[in-house]
């Protein structure tokens, strides 16, 4: 006799793959007690810097049943964003790879809504919500629980066959599905990400990041002036930072994505150092029309570029 839970899980996995997701994992929706304690400690140490929103909705953050009434499953979806090309001028200010194309929040939300529609049409009416880094969901913890990778020493999700250049998204549903088993941690004794971080944001033992020292935080989240003590430590990053991913041995398995929405604006990669330093608001709007870079706004990006100057 066929098991409906097994069938539903297989059906969702197949459709998610068709929609372009690289890996899909399933977890039982339950309160994350150990993770809640860890988050509380992280917040108490002030590692979230000026990201006050991290303190909000604590109970919802650690309990998916507070986000979706009667939630039974958390589906974690992993989408590759590793680009085939890079910025041409090695001296130009650098942009994190995730921001090359269209804002992933919109791209993944569209795919999640398609998946939710598919579930309703093929399995039956379900109550669920889509999340793409847009609500209090501890996505990396859920990704680890759902077995789509392990949390590396840089706190990013790493998959042994594909590295870490991934976006995460979640569907929380009141549908029972087959849970996957967590994956083993393969970081071993490697400390490359810890050693390479120019601002010392990663704890000496790993698995803990002081967000207030992270270049991504300083160039994106921080709305006020970048503290002077970071002068000369930014390694030419104007938006985000990929250093801990670039040095990670597992990223030798990264392969270019196949999502047209993540292709960069044709002008973006060819802009040289001078182009960036003379950036106008018109060029900013054209190059970053649908990009996540709009989050930092024109003035924010100009601030970052100015900070990088000698």
Q: Which residues are marked as active site?
A: 133
**How many residues are present in the chain?**
310
Residue 104's nearest CA partner among 112, 114, 115 is 112
Q: Residue 181 class from Cβ within 10 Å (0-12 exposed, 13-18 middle, 19+ buried)?
A: exposed
DSSP-derived secondary structure letter, 185? P
Q: How many whole angstroms separate alpha carbon 122 and alpha carbon 211?
A: 42
Q: Which structure tokens are listed for 171? A: 């569907």
Q: What angle do CA 99, 53, 25 make, to 5 degrees?
A: 60
Residue 20's nearest CA partner among 94, 100, 111 is 111
**Beta-strand pair 73-80/150-151:** unpaired
Helix, strand, or coil here: 46? coil
DSSP E strand boundaries for 128-180: 128-131, 150-151, 157-158, 166-173
CB 21 within 8 A of CB 112: no
Helices (H), the chain: 4-18, 33-44, 58-62, 104-122, 139-145, 192-196, 215-216, 243-246, 273-277, 281-287, 297-308
Helix, strand, or coil here: 278? coil
Q: How many whole angstroms separate alpha carbon 156 and alpha carbon 136?
A: 17
């Amino acid at each position: 006799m066929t098991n409906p839970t097994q069938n539903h899980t297989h059906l969702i996995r197949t459709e998610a793959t068709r929609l372009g997701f690289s890996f899909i994992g399933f977890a039982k929706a339950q309160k994350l007690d150990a993770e809640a304690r860890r988050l509380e400690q992280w917040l108490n140490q002030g590692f979230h810097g000026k990201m006050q929103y991290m303190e909000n909705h604590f109970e919802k953050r650690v309990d998916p049943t507070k986000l979706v009434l009667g939630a039974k499953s958390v589906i974690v979806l992993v989408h590759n964003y590793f680009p085939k090309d890079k910025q041409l001028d090695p001296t130009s200010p650098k942009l994190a790879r995730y921001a090359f194309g269209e804002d992933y929040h919109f791209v993944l939300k569209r795919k999640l809504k398609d998946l939710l529609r598919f579930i309703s049409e093929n399995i039956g009416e379900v109550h669920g919500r889509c999340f793409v880094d847009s609500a209090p969901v501890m996505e990396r913890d859920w990704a680890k629980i759902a077995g789509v990778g392990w949390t590396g020493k840089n706190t990013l999700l790493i998959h042994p066959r594909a590295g870490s250049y991934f976006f995460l998204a979640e569907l929380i549903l009141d549908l029972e599905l087959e849970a996957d088993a967590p994956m083993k941690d393969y970081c071993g004794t490697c400390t490359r990400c810890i050693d390479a971080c120019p601002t010392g944001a990663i704890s000496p033992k790993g698995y803990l990041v002081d967000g207030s020292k992270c270049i991504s935080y300083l160039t994106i989240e921080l709305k006020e002036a970048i503290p002077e003590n970071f002068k000369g430590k930014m390694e030419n990053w104007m938006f985000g930072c990929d250093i801990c991913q670039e040095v990670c041995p597992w990223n030798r398995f990264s392969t270019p994505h196949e999502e047209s929405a993540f292709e960069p604006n044709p002008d973006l990669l060819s802009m040289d150092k001078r182009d960036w330093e003379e950036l106008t608001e018109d060029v900013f709007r054209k190059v970053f029309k649908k990009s996540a870079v709009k989050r930092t706004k024109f003035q924010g990006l100009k601030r970052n570029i100015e900070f990088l100057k000698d």
